[in-house]
Amino acid sequence: MKRRILMLLTIAAGALLQQFLPTWPIFGGMKPPILAAMALHYALRRNNKDMWLAVFVAAIMQDSLDLGAYGPALLAFPIMGLLANRIRNEVFSDGLVSQLCFGAIIGLFTAFITLLLYTVTGQRPFHFGLSVIRLFSAFWLGMTTLPLVSYAISRMEAALPKRRGYGWQ
């Protein structure tokens, strides 16, 4: 129970950090996908229940704190979590190369789903050049964000007192 509360608090802190980070025009205004990286981190390391909890809380937070209708994160994160949870025994989650690859994929995937939904529902006007910049930016930002987020969470959990019942060892 305690580790779940810690997980939820970490996700909330991640949402706060993602909001406070500035946007860079060179990346098409995209932000580092911290919440997506957190959802993937937990999906690769926790059991099924924790994965669903992390994925839905992260998705609801992202969509609630963003403008427009619910959807982009609520659609992308569960698919991402489900796939990651399926292959977690076949990949080395702590390897840097795996994390770089996963990071790039989640960045690109969430950006693509968001772009698709916004375009289909008419919430955002479609602009080809800007869309390409955003997809590339999401790719790079995801690639750099996941290893950092994963490392930070692992260090934080390692620094906590090792007592029975916490279960984050």
CB 41 within 8 A of CB 146: yes
User: Which of residues 35 and 84 has its CB atom nearest to another protein in the complex?
Assistant: 35
Stretch binding another protein (CB under 8 A), from 12-20, 37-45, 84-92, 98-106? 12-20
Residue 67 CB, nearest approach to another protein (Å): 4
The counts of H helices and E strands in the chain are: 6, 0
Residue 24 CA to residue 43 CA, distance in Å, equals: 29
Count of CA atoms in the C-beta half-sphere (13 A) of 161: 4
Contacts of 4 by beta carbon, 8 Å cutoff, 6+ apart: 50, 53
The alpha carbon torsion through 95, 96, 100, 101 (nearest 10 deg) reads -30
Residue 13 CB, nearest approach to another protein (Å): 8
The footprint of another protein on this chain (CB under 8 A) covers a number of residues equal to 42
Q: Indicate which single residue of 29, 47, 86, 169 sits in contact with another protein (rule: CB under 8 A).
A: 29
Residue 38 CB, nearest approach to another protein (Å): 13
User: Which of residues 93 and 152 has its CB atom nearest to another protein in the complex?
Assistant: 152
The contact mask relative to another protein for 53-82 (x = CB under 8 A, - = no) is -------xxxxxxxxxxxxx-xx--x----
Q: Is residue 106 a contact point for another protein (CB under 8 A)?
A: no
Angle in degrees, 0-180, between the axes of helices 72-87 and 96-121, rounded to the nearest 10 = 150
Token digits of residue 126: 């479609």
Q: Indicate which single residue of 26, 49, 162, 164 sits in contact with another protein (rule: CB under 8 A).
A: 26
Residues near another protein (CB under 8 A) are: 12, 15-16, 18-31, 35, 60-72, 74-75, 78, 114, 117-118, 123-125, 130, 134
